[in-house]
Amino acid sequence: MTPIGDLSAVQLRDALARGELSAVETAEHFLARIEERNPALGAFVHVAAGSALERARVLDALPPGSPRGPLHGVPLAVKDLHDVAGMPTTHGSAAVAGQYGRAPVAGTDDDLAAVLGASGAVLLGKTQVPEFGLDCYSENLVAPPARNPHDPATGAGGSSGGQAAAVAAGMLPVAPGSDGGGSVRIPAAACGLIGLKPNRGRVPTADAQSDAAQLVVHGPIARTAEDAALLLDVLCAPAPGPAHGNVVHRAVRAAPQGSFLDGVRAARRGDLPWGRRPLRIGVSTSSPFDAVQDIAVSPEARSALDAGVARLLAAGHEVGEASIAYDPEYPRAFFDVWTTAMGTAPLDDEQAVRLTGLAGAFRSRALRRSAVELARAVSTLRRIEQDVVRAYGSWDMVLTPALAMTPRPLGWYWEGYGLEDPAGADQDYRRQCQYTPWTSIVNVVGLPAVTVPTLWTRAGRAAPVVPMGVQLIGRPSAEAQLLAVVAQLEDQGPAGPGPAGQE
């Protein structure tokens, strides 16, 4: 039998359902992997072994024939931005926890934890994030950084960096992330995984006051299309309990026909969601940040894009250059909206001085921003949304690089300043935009998108081999199509070292 930790999430779920594995032995296996591998990678910031094993024992004791959730006994974790009853929540911030201090312990589950609990999952703990989820790297003043398992001198990305590092290192079979500007897709791409950002409204989200532009949505980080589909089916379920904090903005929650997992399996049998015709896929390296920054596509990113084109052509699709231009007002409007969350964070003056340099600078600017300025920024983004959706609509999908460079060295963003120095905030943010120039626009326009690895490469002769990939942006509510394309690319062979990859 395949070792527990090497099973896909779907295989693990099925083995648990058949009684071939118990929830306790499964939890024990992954807890042992965390104990062995986490010290070198910093993926987990809190391991809840006691409560996880207690939960597993309860699941194993259910009488035969009892209702069981779709993830019965499957080990998962959540980002350290979510409340889980009995676990501390630091939000990745020394302002909340104090440096290597104690964070408040949550008394109740938030919506995501409640959905995962209702699915039968066993939560093993919390994973590393940037402070308040702001950044595309998972380094903070609370705990060691989340390192990339393929090159531990580099970061795992963010803000779901701990989740991606844990999946890539085999400490979790699959993981839910949250994506407000690329926070699922960026770490998935950096760690050689599949990262799916669902359509706005597909997954129940929090109230509009906490996310004025409706940028954030939960999505899966996975090793296979089937695993991503399995978790997406679970995430689409409404949270148990009162409806507050569980608002759905558009009625698109359910998969178009059956489950997303059924859709991936049907696609593998040749029953494709777009029928027999090939998809028309437009390729673009234009970025909405081109107006204010020098956005360069590294040779490694270009090779990954070329490999993606080749794999799509081999799958029978039509691929051509897409001429896409973005409104030059985008960078300012996005910055104003993105940084507003720091202004609303419930921190007193004593806590605020313990913020990282970037978060502190963002908070100061947000507090000086008027409600009228914020409303104008949101209005600008809504106008840009209409223009971009119309431009993308000329194609079935739009293809971009996933990231502009290979995974970045730890500390690269604030290099020359230090994580705590607000003087480095502008360089930090500029470098984040240069590394991830194609992800945030997808959150603004609300479309679904997926990143998938297409090759492995080196940034230099002596550098480690690391994954690089592409981003596919779908039409509204087209997650099923995106997952089917990912399944087609998987069926061509792994995008790793060897015949299908590049070193």
Write out the catalytic residue numbers.
79, 159, 183
**Torsion over CA: 438, 367, 412, 211 (sign):** negative
Torsion, CA 297, CA 298, CA 303, CA 308, rounded to 10: -40
**What 3-state class would DSSP assign to 197?**
strand
| Residue 465, Ramachandran bin (φ over 0: left; ψ between -120 and 50: alpha; else beta) | beta
- What is the token pair recorded at 368? 């000086």
At 75, phi and psi to the nearest 5?
-75, 135
β-bridge partners, 470: 401, 452
Contact at 8 Å (CB) between 120 and 71? yes
- The runs of H, that is alpha helices, within 129-271 are 161-168, 185-190, 225-235, 260-268
Contact at 8 Å (CB) between 472 and 401? no
**What 3-state class would DSSP assign to 187?**
helix
- What is the greatest pairwise CA distance in the chain? 62
Contact at 8 Å (CB) between 362 and 264? no
Count CB atoms within 10 A of the CB of residue 63: 5
Distance CA 497, CA 281 (A): 26
> DSSP character for 423?
G
Distance CA 246, CA 241 (A): 9
Selection from 1, 4, 129, 8 nearest residue 56 by Cα: 4
Distance CA 56, CA 37 (A): 22
* DSSP-derived pairing of the beta strands 397-401 and 318-321: unpaired
Distance CA 68, CA 88 (A): 28
Selection from 167, 166, 145, 163 nearest residue 154 by Cα: 145
User: What would the DSSP string read from start to end of 205-243?
Assistant: B--GGG-TT---EEEEEESSHHHHHHHHHHHTSPPSS-S
Cis before 159? omega within 30: yes
